[in-house]
Amino acid sequence: MTVRDLAAALNLEVLTGGINLDRQVISGYTSDLLSDVIANIDDDAVWITIQRHVNILGVAKLKDVAAIVIPRKLDLEESFIEKAKDEGIAILRGSRSAFELSGLIYNQLMRG
């Protein structure tokens, strides 16, 4: 499944235009603690987090994350979105909670 497929299936808003939309998604991880993500997220994963500061982009780049998913339609600064585009990191946003998004993403990935 690609980032584009996942965004379409779950009606996620794509905030970074065409960045990384054709990238394959292999797994997902939900955490707001950066050290936990560094230690445990897989390459090609989507990362669900409420964090919205520039440091998450560094972690996403370091761990080769396919996309970051922001729950609850939380606001993001335009400078953050521009930095994500510059770094080649897709940012998606949904209206559901992190818990709900985690379950829905899991189900989508298990379907293939």
Give 67-84 pLDDT, tens digit per residue: 999 999 999 999 999 999
Instruction: Give the fold, CATH level 3, of 3-111.
Output: 3.40.1390
Closest by CA position to 91, among listed 102, 100, 61, 99: 61
Rounded to two decimals, what is the model's pTM?
0.96
CA distance 8 to 72: 17
Which of 40, 9, 33, 19 shows the shortest CA–CA distance to 90? 19
Write out pLDDT tens, residues 8-34: 999 999 999 999 999 999 999 999 999
Could you tell me if 97 and 36 are in contact, meaning their C-beta atoms sit under 8 angstroms apart?
no
Please give the pLDDT value at position 97: 98
Amino acid letter at 58?
Answer: G
- How many C-beta neighbours within 10 Å does residue 69 have? 25
